[in-house]
Structure 1
Amino acid sequence: MHVLVLGSGVVGVTTAYYLARSGHQVTVLDRQPAAGMETSFANAGQVSPGYSAPWAAPGIPIKAMKWLLMRHRPLVLLPQFEPRFYGWLAHMLANCTHEAYRRNKGRMVRLAEYSRDVLGALRAETGIAYDHREKGTLQLFRTRKQLDQVGTDTAILDAYGVAYAVLDPAGCIAAEPALARVRDRIAGGLRLPGDETGDAHMFTQSLAGLCEGLGVTFRYGVSVASLRHEHGRVAGVVTEGGEVVGADAYVAALGSYTPALLRPLGLRLPVYPVKGYSLTLPIDDPEAAPVSTVMDETFKVGITRLGDRIRAGGTAELAGFSQVLRGPRRAALERSVGDLFPGGGDLRKARFWTGLRPMTPDGTPIVGATPYPNLYTNTGHGTLGWTMACGSGRMLADLISGHPPAIAPADFAMARYA
């Protein structure tokens, strides 16, 4: 059948790839001039199944209040005048229970682990290159209290068979030798050896090229205005230019912009943009740079080696759809990477970027069918779009093709919010 994919970020392009692999005719529409130009452009670079966890967790409301008072705070809340935001926030707070956290983290890890395996198979089949490394993630704790609270996460990792190691400072330095220079800042860490790193933008553009080789048509510079529907089905996509583009099935993969597109159809997706920032700086001294990814738990900043660059990504800024680059957020990223890896990269040459991460209240993406039988969603991945993209795309392609997915798909669909 002919499937129209809306959005050419890493989620949209992986969906298009697996649909084409399944034999479908695929067209991708995107307002940008090329693939991967928005949220996928300069994210933190982590493929981190072991670090997959919802932001809604026990104790988060109290932690959030403390974060808001920090100078280099990982959470920023700007005045909002949008009722939808407060409904999303209330729903998120309702998920800050032990039971909800176990359920949400469990299914996130399930999808993320599957996605990592699918990505590995894709890499083996195609030889796609994107500055990837398979050297794990180190979640770094600066305080003993952070280290003592790691048991909740490791219990879930045990349940899903995810490999990990709780490390003392010497173990952290063995995993990331450059940390020997700042040993006094380390209380311990949680190492996740199955995690990977890579440049999501490079991957997305390379995969788009592979898609074209499979016959996928990319139409760039085309903005989607609305969906036309008749008799309970989607009948076409109306572009800003007034063109109606038809297909047999439709996939909404527009990240934070997906809810606005579906709302006129009576579909309410609880996805809200959480603004993130990154710095990309050239490596000055390879021996002083990270080997893979270090997650600075105190400042919630991921510091990743991507080829000859260091990428530092973090901050959760709730500011609607604003994409203003704010100086204090840059200072927070500089504080983290400069403190843990002094001399590793040249901060004076760093490229500062921001993007909107589509977040659900429970942290789990919304992937699957909708009440319209030929309309599907693949959105709401939050900070884990790169981590979950291949698994989400493969799972959705299987659903559309009528094949049983390799993992249970039911609890990822929007029906869970009914």
Structure 2
Amino acid sequence: MKTIAVIGGGITGVTTAYALAKRGFSVTLFERHRYAAMETSFANGGQLSASNAEVWTHWSTLAKGIKWMLRSDAPLLVNPRPTWHKLSWFAEFIASMPHYRTNTIETARLAIAARQHLFAWAEAEGIDFDLKKKGILHIYRNKAGFDHAGQVSKLLAAGGLDRRAVTPDEMRAIEPTLAGQYYGGYYTESDATGDIHKFTSGLAAAVRRLGVTTLYNQDVKSVTSDGRHVTVVAADGAQTASRVFDGVVVCAGVASREMARQLGDRVNIYPVKGYSITVNLNDAESQASAPTVSLLDDETKLVTSRLGADRFRIAGTAEFNGIDRDIRSDRIRPLIDWVHACFPGVSTRSVVPWAGLRPMMPNMMPRVGRGHRANVFYNTGHGHLGWTLSAVTADMVGEVIRQAAEPHASSIAGARLETVKA
């Protein structure tokens, strides 16, 4: 197995192409947009957050979803209109609840490992992506939220992550610009933030230098495998071309479900829409009033990142409404209001809204590894942690493909991948 097609030019596709190219494979990357990272990897919250590794398969998530169903500004919004896809996804979500503890611990472990790869790749390739290693502060307004965070911290510690409880006074010392009254917080000093779009674009340039063929404006119409060869049919405008490879890795975000179906696999990804705003800090007062430490507000489910001197990113919410990329003003307004409440000195005169579809598996674990066919592989379904986990899952799937090409190689990485698929 020497030639590999990677379908998808977001963070998982580009990191996968990089991991394969570094292992000596001949890689062709397909992306339907004109550039890399133009969909879900365009304007996310920016957090590289092992501290946000708690999976959602907890009874409290369902309770909140039901409570918020009729609120248009709710952090978690579920369109009550039933579809078979949505019903099957939620059925599997509920069935995954017994694995909440195991999957949270495993996600934390993966997130810690991912940092090492991502930082090393950025340094090796000279990628500037507004990296800040100033930690992440989780903020809580009441005792119930703070106490739950204490239980989560025990799971994160089991995965190897150290985070500590902080008092309201300590919170203000960590981030002096934060306004409001809080019960307490948790601070993870080892977490970081960065611009996913800048990183992915920089790594896309690096893979081209490594010899990867990058095919943009390619709308993949079909992908098929006979177990020995993979055929990818893609259209570039009016021109359609068919190309044959030894293997394929599906990294196509919310489109992965349909591609998996064509390849004989079931990958039950649901598109969970998230929103962000990027506040342009165009004056000295706004720059001084915006936080430099990244925040996660557990009550509103919002996260923040400071991207360079003059950008402040706020992102979050989860909307279950199928393939819908509309940017709704009633979903953007709570993000702007949150800035006014928590950082009143920041001007929101210049705000850029965005929405993207997170590819989410029912158990909140990415689908990484082999498909039914011997030459089909997946690295997809990372949900809200694609930026956080992408480097390690790319390295893992790269190792599995190396083993497939060299049957006598060590089976250690393959065993680890089975854990991710649990």
TM-score by length of 2: 0.93
* Displaced runs of 4 or more, over 4 A: none
Return the letter of the residue paired with 2:68: W
Matches within 5 A, 1:334-349: 334-344=336-346, 346-349=347-350
Aligned residues: 407
Partner of 1:276: 274
Aligned to 2:328: 326
CA offset digits 1:349-395 (Å, max 9, x no partner): 10011000000111110011111111100100001110011111111
Map 1:298-337; keep pairs closer than 5 Å. Answer: 298-307=299-308, 308-337=310-339
Counterpart of 1:150 in 2: which secondary structure? helix
CA distance in 1, matches of 2:414, 2:129: 26
What do the CA deviations read for 1:235-264 (whole angstroms, capped 9, x no partner)?
311124442111111000000110111213
Consecutive unaligned residues of structure 2, counting only runs of 5 or more, are: 404-408
Residue equivalent to 1:237: 232
Q: 2:406 corresponds to which residue?
A: none
Aligned AA (2:399): D
The alignment's TM-score, normalised by the length of structure 1, stands at 0.93
Instruction: Note the 1:249-268 alignment, pairs <5 A.
Output: 249-268=247-266
Change (3 A) 1:90 1:154: same
Given the superposition, is the C-alpha separation of residues 407 and 279 from structure 1 closer, same or farther in structure 2, using an over 3 Å criterion? farther
Residue 110 (structure 2) pairs with residue 111 (structure 1)? yes
String of CA shifts for 1:189-236, please: whole Å, max 9, x gaps: 111111110000000001111111111111000111111232x44531
Letter in 1 for 2:416: A
How far residue 119 of structure 1 moved from its aligned partner, in angstroms, is 1.1
Does residue 191 of structure 2 align to residue 195 of structure 1?
yes
Find out whether 1:409 has 2:407 as its counterpart: no
- Equivalences for 1:153-232 in 2 at 5 Å? 153-179=152-178, 182-184=179-181, 186-230=182-226, 232=227
Q: Given residue 8 of structure 1, which amino acid in structure 2 is its aligned partner?
A: G
User: What does the per-residue CA deviation read over 1:60-112, in whole Å, with 9 as the maximum and x for residues that have no partner?
Assistant: 2222223335563101122444201110011112223xx41101111111211
- Structure 2 counterpart of 1:94: 95
What does 1:324-403 align with in structure 2 at a 5 Å threshold? 324-344=326-346, 346-402=347-403
What is the identity, as a one-letter code, of the residue corresponding to 1:393?
A
CA distance in 2, matches of 1:151, 1:406: 33
Answering whether residue 245 of structure 2 is matched by residue 247 of structure 1, we say yes
Give me the whole-angstrom Cα distance separating, in 2, the residues matched to 1:216 and 1:80.
Answer: 43
| Alpha carbons of structure 1 residues 324 and 172: separation in structure 2 relative to 1, 3 Å | same
Greater displacement, 61-70 / 4-13? 61-70
Please give the alpha-carbon distance, in whole angstroms, between the structure 1 residues aligned to 2:71 and 2:186: 24
Quote the RMSD (CA, aligned, Å).
Answer: 1.7
Residue by residue over 1:275-314, the C-alpha shift from the partner in whole angstroms, topping out at 9 and shown as x without a partner, is: 0110001124233111121111111010111112000101
Gaps of 5+ in 1: none
- Aligned partner of 1:318: which letter? F
Displacement after TM superposition at 1:348 (Å): 2.3
CA deviation profile, 1:320-341 (whole Å, cap 9, x unmatched): 0011111110111112222111
1:136 corresponds to:
135
Measure, in 1, the Cα distance between the counterparts of 2:72 and 2:255. 31
In structure 1, what is the Cα distance between the partners aligned to 2:221 and 2:244? 14
